[in-house]
Structures are given as C-alpha cells and as structure tokens.
Amino acid sequence: MMKLKSISILILLCSAVLGLHAQQIETISVHSDVMNCDIPNIVILPADYDSTSVSYIIKFCFSPTTLRERTRHTKMDNKNGMTRREALKRMGTVAMSAALATSGFASVSELTTDKRNMKIVAINGSSRKDGNTADMLRLVLGELEAAGYDTELIQLAGETINPCKACFACAGKKNCVFSSDVFQSLYQKMVEADAIILGSSTYSADVSSTLKAVIERASVVSDTNPGMFRHKIGGAVAVARRAGAMNTIDSINHFFLNKEMFVAGSTYWNIAYGRLPGEALNDDEAVANMKNLGKNIAWFLNRTNQV
C-alpha cells in the first residue's frame, strides 16, 4: 500500500510539472544506474498531441528483481544504504528537473531561488532631504539589499507635486496626463516596483502635503485604471518630533489597502522620534523596528516569488 501511495504521489508531481507546459518534450529515461541503486525506472513519453496541446504518459517500469526482492525491505541494497522513500524522492527530483530542462524552463532549484530582479522603491515625502525620514528608510532598504533585492530611494524634498485636478483624463492611459512636475515618472516607478515603501515626517498630525499629493493622484490614476497596484507589498514609515505619527502611518496604510496591496508590519509601529537630522537614529526601538520591517518585506517578497 505504501509503495502504491508513493507511486501515486510521484505521478501527481510529474503530471503537475508537465501540465504547466504545452510543449513537446523528448522521451526522458531516468535509469537506476543514475540513482546508484536498484529502483524503478521512470519514462516520460509524449503521447498524441497537436500544435496546441500535449498529453503525457508516465510509465513506471519495475524490474522483476525490484518487485520480487525489494517489497519487504525498508533499505535499498546499495552502498549508500538509501531507503525506498529517499530513493523515490530523489528519483522524482531528477525526473522533474530533466523534464523542465528539455522544455526550456528553469530547473527546480532555479524556480525556488530566483528573485526575478525584484525592485523595491522607497519614497521620502519629507520636506528635508537626508533627514530623519531618509535615515529610517535607509535602514529598511538596507535589510532588503542584504537579502539580494534591488532598491531605490526617491526624495521629494525640493520638488513640487501639484494636487489632483479630478479631471479623470487618466482613465485608460495608466498615468496622469499632466507632465508639469515629476509625478509621471514617479508613478511609473511605483507601478514597476514589487514593493513600495512610503515615508513621511509628521506635519499637522498627517503626512506631508507633498506625499499627500502623490497619494491622491496615484489613487485616482489607479482607480481609473484598476489593478495597477494589485498584490504589491507596502510598508509605511513615519517620523515625528512628539505626536501625530499614528495618523501618518494610517494615511499611508489606507492608500495601500485601498489599492489591493499587502501591508507589511513590524514588531511595533514603524515610527521614529527625532527633530534635528540624525536624532531618530538614537531611537533604538525605532531602529530595530525599521530593520525588522525590511526583513518582513523581504520574507513577503520571497514567498510571493515562489507562487
């Protein structure tokens, strides 16, 4: 019964892999000498097919020796002392890797480790360049860079982002129609990113007016062109001198949630306290939270990439 169950699992695994690719593949044989043990051969054969579909036959060919002498043994009679379970697992891995290789797709290991050159963009909405908000965003990005992801920090200090005119001319165009400021290029970077981190210092218990304009215009463009931010990862960062930072976090997270994005969190609120440049780095709890936020976004991206 265990033998039949193991075989059924292998058939399902191989069928699942091959079923993803409507391409002709050559006959693949994984012989027992490849495995260094006496185990069944796997033969994957192309059956009847046309230009649009391919069906596959998976045959498990057992030698008489295997059927007769190995049924009651839990260990394979080979120098490695490989169990039947281990042999079947190894055999299945080789078979699937070979099938993927002949069909022009990546190997099993490549499918689970390739990061697809994922991009993370962080936008600093503070009116001060390279201040406390930038310091906190760099902490987050540092963890993502250490995990192998491409990152970019965009600082809006010195830039004027005009408010939304509510003309809805962006419908069907996938970007704002006005090019008098940097919003068009900024929005394009947001769309191309796999994760978006928005950071702002706290002004009147909310995000800066510059970041607010970005959020409002990005909201209208994505509302009239649905799905542009769907399933991206979002992270919010706020800096305050004393109070109001929770509202800043809320404004950013509301944008993410309203655009079908997944929101990453940390061990506590992603808020740092400081007034003069560099002071927020003395907030030990904030520093730890920002680093953990970066690690959580990296974890999220890694899981998303495996889907």
pLDDT digits (tens, 9 = 90+) for 250-297: 999 999 999 999 999 999 999 999 999 999 999 999 999 999 999 999
Domain that holds residue 267: 119-306
Give the 3-state secondary structure of residue 197. Answer: strand
More confident residue, 244 or 1: 244
Residues 104 and 72 in one domain: yes
Of 113, 146, 168, the one marking the end of a domain is: 113
**pTM of the prediction?**
0.64
CATH code for the domain in which residue 146 is found: 3.40.50.360
Length of the chain measured in residues: 307
Residues 194 and 261 in one domain: yes
Question: How would residue 166 be classed by pLDDT, with cut points 50, 70 and 90?
Answer: very high
**Mean pLDDT of all residues in 34-52:** 39
Reported as type and span, the H/E element at residue 183 is helix 183-192
Give CA torsion, residues 142, 147, 150, 156, to 10 deg. Answer: -30
Q: Pairing relation of β-strands 119-124 and 150-155?
A: parallel
Predicted confidence (pLDDT) at residue 103 exceeds the cutoff of 80: no
Residues 154 and 282 in one domain: yes
Residues 143 and 85 in one domain: no
- Nearest alpha-carbon partner for 287 in 304, 270, 299: 270
Residues 79 and 190 in one domain: no
Q: What is the mean pLDDT of the chain?
A: 76
Tokens 């649905």 -> residue: 226
With a CB cutoff of 8 Å and minimum separation 6, the contacts of 124 are 133, 134, 137, 153, 154, 155, 156, 157, 199, 200
Residues 53 and 135 in one domain: no
**Mean pLDDT of all residues in 26-41:** 38
Residues 186 and 271 in one domain: yes
pLDDT at 29: 37
More confident residue, 278 or 34: 278
Residues 128 and 144 in one domain: yes
Question: How would residue 193 be classed by pLDDT, with cut points 50, 70 and 90?
Answer: very high
Residues 69 and 195 in one domain: no
Question: How would residue 117 be classed by pLDDT, with cut points 50, 70 and 90?
Answer: confident
Question: How would residue 305 be classed by pLDDT, with cut points 50, 70 and 90?
Answer: confident
**CA 279, chain centre distance (Å):** 33
